[in-house]
Amino acid sequence: MLNKTIYVFLTKVDDSNTLTFKFDDGQVNINLESNDTNTIKEVFQRIAKELCENDIELDYSVNEEKIDSNKDGLFIDAAEEYIERLKLEIESLKEDEHLKMIRSNQTDNV
């Protein structure tokens, strides 16, 4: 399995605190000030799909030019907690028997 890095950073988009996930085919922004869960689901689905082909890791950072640690501290804490939980979920998925079977079938077909 190839190792692949997905870059994630906390930034501001249209003055909203946003987690940006950079995938090979574009990026997905999760607005941390919105109740919309569709983008959270989209990110998870894209990560799960990526796991079928590659081991992945998340590289998380904060855009310190746009995020003020004094004003945005709650969002920084929430983003860090979300990323840590997502990393744990990724590790858990790597042990899933269905994923192991999918990966095995892909290497058999190469």
Instruction: Name the DSSP class of 33.
Output: T
| pLDDT value, residue 94 | 84
DSSP symbols for 68-96: -TTTSHHHHHHHHHHHHHHHHHHHHHHT-
DSSP state of 35: -
pLDDT for the residue 52:
85
CB contact at 8 A, 69 and 76: yes
Are the CB atoms for 76 and 67 separated by under 8 Å?
A: yes
- As a whole-number percent, the residues of the chain with pLDDT over 70 amount to 95
Query: Strands 54-62 and 2-13: what pairing?
Result: parallel
- Between 22 and 93, the more confident residue is 22
- Region 4-33: mean pLDDT is 95
Tell which residue, 100, 55, 97, has the closest CA to residue 108.
100
Confidence (pLDDT) at 43 = 95
Q: What is the pLDDT of residue 31?
A: 95
